[in-house]
Amino acid sequence: MKEVTFIHAADLHLDSPMTGLKHLPKQIFQRLQESTFHAFRKVIDAALTFNVDFVVFAGDLYDEDYRSLRAQARFRKEMERLAERNIPVYIVHGNHDHLGGTWPHFHLPDNVHIFKDHVESKDFQKSDGTTVRLYGFSYPGRHVYERMITHYKKEEGADFHIGILHGYQEGSSGHGRYAPFHLKELLEKQYDYWALGHIHKRSVLSEFPPVLYPGNVQGRNKKETGVKGCYFVSLTEHNTSLRFVETSDVIWEDVKADAQHIDSVHELYEFCRKTMDDYRREGTGTLLYLSLTNVNINGMQMQLSEWLELFQEEEKDEASFVWPVKIEVEEKVNWERSQLSSEADFYGELFEAIDEYSDIEECLSPLYQHPAAGKFLNALDVQERIKLIREAEDLLIRSLIRPE
């Protein structure tokens, strides 16, 4: 039976600077700075443990088109570990580490095969004679809007065919609409596997044949939540098996916890404590954004900064820390739109005005145009806008119905 096994990883973003996180305690910040390398080492560990036939990297190995010496030295070292075991590596570069940049070139060992700036194929042959043809291209510059998928052609004459593509699936949400494709176009090529990269969230677009984004190997900010990793893949003529391999060393979690049932400070403390401990993972660090919903705040005198400091102070575990970065509280909503609207026309009109409100940009512009603050702010996404408007609505209604 013919079989090939490989590791598919993407978006290593080695040496990501982790900007905006300097406020974290020094040891945690350092661990985070090291995390992309640590995760990358785990990818290579997996390749060695499973003794795969080869490794595929689907773009964005480096975070920037200037590839730092540190990142290159570490990359080379890991490639040498694979070279010692005669494991070849197939690489395409993506929009972050495109070929148009300038950087001091480190020479890589001979087991490393990098695709050029146009779609080409490379052949792999296993010692038992099984053959694989891999297809891919590296980004010549940062912005590749061309439908590169049209240049992929199946060339007969191999047992297995694998497409490698760093690109954007049309119709999905998200930015960076580079090298766009439709799933249908990939399936039409009749390859045995599509190794995608670019989208940092893990996503299997098709199972037969497998078409998937493994996601990045290490989350780098609070939007890249959950466990990250790569795939160990085995292909035979009749079967494929996919196994997710966890690689992240620090995990970001954005947790909403319903505090509906809680009515004392002590219970709230226990509740937060337990929620944090539920996220503790052996040997892995966790950065936790905790938002408590439906908190009955009456009488609690909540000072959020004090709660946060307390839980941070109590955190003593170094290897398997759960560090609360932020605690947010959403007060229990004690009013209902339909009820208020039936009480007075005024509320009906108010809710209508809120739903039609579209001046949020203008309203926030003094903040965004502020010479010092502005450059630290990212644009709000739709979810964040909705949340802001909901919060404003709640504040407004509370102030209107508050008993004198």
Looking at the Cβ atoms of 143 and 370, the one nearer to Mn ion is 143
Handedness of CA 232, 236, 237, 243 (dihedral sign): negative
Residue with tokens 């959950």: 226
Q: What is the largest CA-CA distance in the chain?
A: 85
Task: Tell me which stretch binds Mn ion (CB under 5 A): 59-67, 238-246, 266-274, 297-305.
Answer: 59-67
H or E segment and range at residue 293:
strand 285-295
Does 60 help bind Mn ion (rule: CB under 5 A)?
Answer: yes
Task: Tell me which stretch binds Mn ion (CB under 5 A): 3-11, 36-44, 258-266, 326-334.
Answer: 3-11
Task: Tell me which stretch binds Mn ion (CB under 5 A): 33-41, 55-63, 114-122, 333-341.
Answer: 55-63
Distance CA 196, CA 306 (A): 45
Looking at the Cβ atoms of 16 and 286, the one nearer to Mn ion is 16
Looking at the Cβ atoms of 113 and 201, the one nearer to Mn ion is 201
DSSP symbol at 172: S
Closest approach of Mn ion to the CB of residue 203, in Å: 14
H or E segment and range at residue 44:
helix 26-49
- 74 — alpha (psi -120 to 50), left (phi > 0) or beta? alpha
Q: Where are the beta strands (DSSP E) in 18-157?
A: 54-58, 89-92, 112-114, 120-125, 131-136
Looking at the Cβ atoms of 60 and 253, the one nearer to Mn ion is 60
142, 56, 137: which is closest to 98 by C-alpha? 142
Closest approach of Mn ion to the CB of residue 383, in Å: 21
Closest approach of Mn ion to the CB of residue 142, in Å: 12
Closest approach of Mn ion to the CB of residue 352, in Å: 42
φ and ψ at 119, to 5 degrees? -65, 125
Closest approach of Mn ion to the CB of residue 179, in Å: 12
The 3-state DSSP class for residue 326 equals strand
Looking at the Cβ atoms of 58 and 186, the one nearer to Mn ion is 58
Closest approach of Mn ion to the CB of residue 217, in Å: 11
Binding-site size, Mn ion (CB under 5 A): 2
- ∠ CA 149-12-104 to the nearest 5 degrees? 95
Looking at the Cβ atoms of 16 and 111, the one nearer to Mn ion is 16
H or E segment and range at residue 384:
helix 382-401
Site string for Mn ion, 11-50 (x = CB under 5 A): x---------------------------------------
DSSP state string for 190-250: T-SEEEEES-SS-EEEETTTTEEE---SS--STTSBS--EEEEEEEESS-EEEEEEE--SE
Does 63 help bind Mn ion (rule: CB under 5 A)?
Answer: no
Burial label, 244 (beta-carbon count in 10 A; 0-12, 13-18, 19+): middle
Closest approach of Mn ion to the CB of residue 63, in Å: 8
Closest approach of Mn ion to the CB of residue 219, in Å: 12
Task: Tell me which stretch binds Mn ion (CB under 5 A): 58-66, 107-115, 321-329, 340-348.
Answer: 58-66
Distance CA 59, CA 98 (A): 9
Closest approach of Mn ion to the CB of residue 198, in Å: 6
Taking only Cα atoms into account, the Rg of the chain, rounded to an integer number of angstroms, comes to: 25
Does 159 help bind Mn ion (rule: CB under 5 A)?
Answer: no
Looking at the Cβ atoms of 63 and 192, the one nearer to Mn ion is 63
Distance CA 103, CA 357 (A): 48
Residue whose beta carbon is closest to Mn ion: 60
Task: Tell me which stretch binds Mn ion (CB under 5 A): 7-15, 147-155, 249-257, 356-364.
Answer: 7-15
Looking at the Cβ atoms of 60 and 159, the one nearer to Mn ion is 60
Closest approach of Mn ion to the CB of residue 279, in Å: 25
Looking at the Cβ atoms of 10 and 259, the one nearer to Mn ion is 10
Looking at the Cβ atoms of 11 and 253, the one nearer to Mn ion is 11
**Sites of contact with Mn ion (CB under 5 A):** 11, 60
